[in-house]
Amino acid sequence: MLGIQITRDTAFHEDLELESIDLVTFAGHPRRALRTGRRPRDFLSQMDLDEVIELRIGDITDFVAKRLAERG
């Protein structure tokens, strides 16, 4: 994993070798910073397993940006 360039297209599972439980754990961390009432964990809970496996950095980035924009 050393030397990998992280971009919007980097896949959590394929490129970073994270399992779905790792994504759920990861998604719980930004909730205090967002303070929008909708946590990334909630975002993941609406996906089926195949969608979670295909999740990319850009998907999480878009979610966070949207929540922050809604906050004003």
Q: What is the mean pLDDT of residues 46-71?
A: 85
For residue 10, the model assigns a pLDDT of 93
The DSSP letter of residue 17 is -
- Mean residue pLDDT across the chain: 77
Q: What is the mean pLDDT of residues 32-50?
A: 67
Lowest mean pLDDT among 26-30, 36-40, 47-51, 62-66: 36-40
Query: What's the pTM?
Result: 0.69
Q: What are phi and psi of 55, to 5 degrees?
A: -60, 140
